Amino acid sequence: MSFNRETCVSCGACAEVCYAEARVMEGREMTAEEAVNEVCRDEPFFRRSGGGLTLGGGEPLAQPEFARAVLLGVKAKGLSTAVETAAHVPWENFERTLSCVDHFLFDIKHIDSEKHKHFTGAGVRLIQENLKKLARVHPHIIVRVPVIPGFNDTRKELFAIADRAASLGLKEINFLPYHRYGSGKYGLLGRDYPMKTCGDPPSTKQITENLQTLKPSVENRGLKVQIGG
């Protein structure tokens, strides 16, 4: 495939006329009402399983009004709601959704601000401030940690995250072992997969086994631990 990304306006016209389906349009714009209707098509399954809607990302709180409208629409149906957030947004964006979120899935990638900035482009100050504020006003927060080889997979780094969560009175932490499921998307976008330059990282199985050895120590900090999620 060859095309000029700089002139692409994401209209989808190329995908419509490509008989070989070499170009495929993924995703579409929707109103909040359309999104709620789409979610509620699975309402019978949610009621049977006790599940509900999780807004993920990207970053759902980067669009707080849209997120609030969708969450309120789903809550009106009597279904549970959750928001997964990296939390690098103004606190006001959290405030707009507090009343309609049952659970916050709060990503923490690192405690060290300089290392976090080096790898992600932003420090941790705003994230940590939002976590402190949220812990004061919302009863259901699960800390989620993507465990990335060479970034945050040492005992010291993972214990530091667990200690921060425990110090705020939080009760649950999920460790999410690194996997390569997203590597294919880089190819579709014409981008290099960054982890290619990191040698041969541990497998998801190896990371999971390492996390199992840490689990008792983290539980001793008063946290329920889930590996994967």
Q: What torsion, rounded to 10 degrees, do the Cα atoms 199, 204, 206, 212 define?
A: 140
pLDDT at 132 over 60: yes
> Is residue 37 over pLDDT 70?
yes
CB 32, CB 73: distance < 8 Å: yes
pLDDT at 1 over 70: no
SS3 122: coil
Q: How far is residue 30's CA from residue 33's CA, in Å, rounded to a whole number?
A: 8
Question: What pLDDT digit, counting tens, does each position of 76-104 carry?
Answer: 999 999 999 999 999 999 999 999 999 99
pLDDT mean over 44-54? 90
Q: In the predicted model, what is the mean pLDDT of residues 9-15?
A: 86
- CA terminus-to-terminus distance, the chain: 35
What is the predicted pLDDT for the residue at 198?
Answer: 60
Cis peptide before 73 (omega within 30 of 0): no
**Average pLDDT value for the chain:** 91
What is the set of domains in the chain, with CATH numbers?
Answer: 43-227 (3.20.20.70)
Rounded to 5°, the CA angle 22-23-24 comes to 120
Q: Which residue has the higher pLDDT, 229 or 10?
A: 10
CA 80 to CA 51: how far, in whole Å?
A: 7
d(CA 52, CA 80): 5
* Residue 60 phi, psi dihedral angles, 5° rounding: -60, -30
Average pLDDT in the 148-173 region? 96
Tell me, rounded to whole angstroms, the distance of Cα 28 from its chain centroid. 20
- pLDDT grade, residue 183 (50/70/90)? confident
In this prediction the pTM is 0.88
Under the banding of pLDDT at 50, 70 and 90, the label for residue 31 is very high
Q: Name the pLDDT band for 136 (thresholds 50, 70, 90).
A: very high
Question: How many of the other CB atoms lie within 10 Å of CB of 24?
Answer: 10
Rounded-to-integer distance, Cα 71 and Cα 77, Å: 10
- Residue 112, pLDDT above cutoff 90: yes
Q: What is the pLDDT of residue 110?
A: 97
Which of 92, 141, 96, 145 has its CA nearest to residue 116? Answer: 145
